[in-house]
Structure 1
């Protein structure tokens, strides 16, 4: 697996992880 490909995949997954983390924080806060 190329490092560049992994980097691009990570960039694509980051927003999804951020959204999930944000949802979790909202659930805990409420």
Structure 2
């Protein structure tokens, strides 16, 4: 695999996990 592709996948995964975490915290706080 290409290094750039790996970095893109890692960044995308981090953004996704942060987004999911924010949604979960939003529902927990309610």
- TM bracket, shorter-chain basis: 0.5 to 0.7
- Structure 1: runs of 5 or more not aligned: none
Count of aligned residue pairs for this structure pair: 27
Per the normalisation by structure 2, the TM-score is 0.64
CA distance in 2, matches of 1:12, 1:19: 10
**For the aligned residues, what is the CA RMSD?**
1.6
Structure 2 unpaired stretches of 5+:
none
Scaled by the length of structure 1, the TM-score of the pair is 0.64
After superposing on structure 2, the runs of 4+ consecutive aligned residues of structure 1 that deviate more than 4 Å are: none
